[in-house]
Amino acid sequence: MICDKKDLKEYLSCERTLYFEKGRSACFKAWLLGSKMYRIWQFLRTLRLAEYHKNQSGLWHHAAFAWYHRRKYALGIRLGFEIPENCFAKGLMIYHIAPIVVNEDARIGENCRITGNCCIGNTGADTPSPVLGSDVTLGWGCSVIGDIRIADGAVIGAGCVVVKNVEQKGAHVAGVPGHVLSAKRRS
């Protein structure tokens, strides 16, 4: 969660590097060409600014939050993203412009990778949402649904529907419903 300006700068720096490895010149070129990565970065930057202002107190921050939240919502409609504030830790990487829906109660660790057309949500009103660890990769069209936990380093395959806990670190999950195919050994 972004609690102060230092956190905000850290998040933005980390994520800008993910999208534009070659620095500010690559960011400028992406802006000039109107690339999809620039549009995704624009959404992500607005999301992080909304998070920062949401987590602060004072009239200025409430007004700034309203502005950035509204801007994030408008960008999200164009890109197909429905991602609320304070769900993702730093290092979020979205690879495609495609529908992504995340429940506001879901919690996702650092360095999450999403390919697109994904859902991270609960099973209905007033039910718990998933908690995903760090370094989780979500394949195209996958869904992670319900009061479940996904371990660090898990890879959720394309089209997979995960409705049960994945407790092995580095697990590869596939199928409907999702089941563990293999798990990487971590030293």
pLDDT band at 76 (very low <50, low <70, confident <90, very high): very high
Q: Helix 5-19 crosses helix 36-54 at what angle (to 10 degrees)?
A: 170
pLDDT surpassing 70 at residue 185? no
pLDDT band at 184 (very low <50, low <70, confident <90, very high): low
pLDDT surpassing 60 at residue 87? yes
pLDDT surpassing 80 at residue 155? yes
How does the average pLDDT of the chain come out, rounded? Answer: 92
Mean pLDDT to the nearest integer, 29-35: 85
pLDDT at 29: 86
pLDDT surpassing 80 at residue 161? yes
pTM value? 0.90
pLDDT at 27: 81
CA–CA dist 62, 136 (Å, integer): 32
pLDDT at 22: 78
pLDDT at 85: 95
The identity of residue 93, as a single letter, is: M
Q: Burial letters for 42-71: b for 16+ Cβ neighbours within 10 Å, e otherwise?
A: bbbbbbbbbbbbbbbeeeeeeebbeebbeb
From 119, 116, 142, 120, select the one nearest 129 (Cα to Cα).
120
pLDDT band at 24 (very low <50, low <70, confident <90, very high): confident
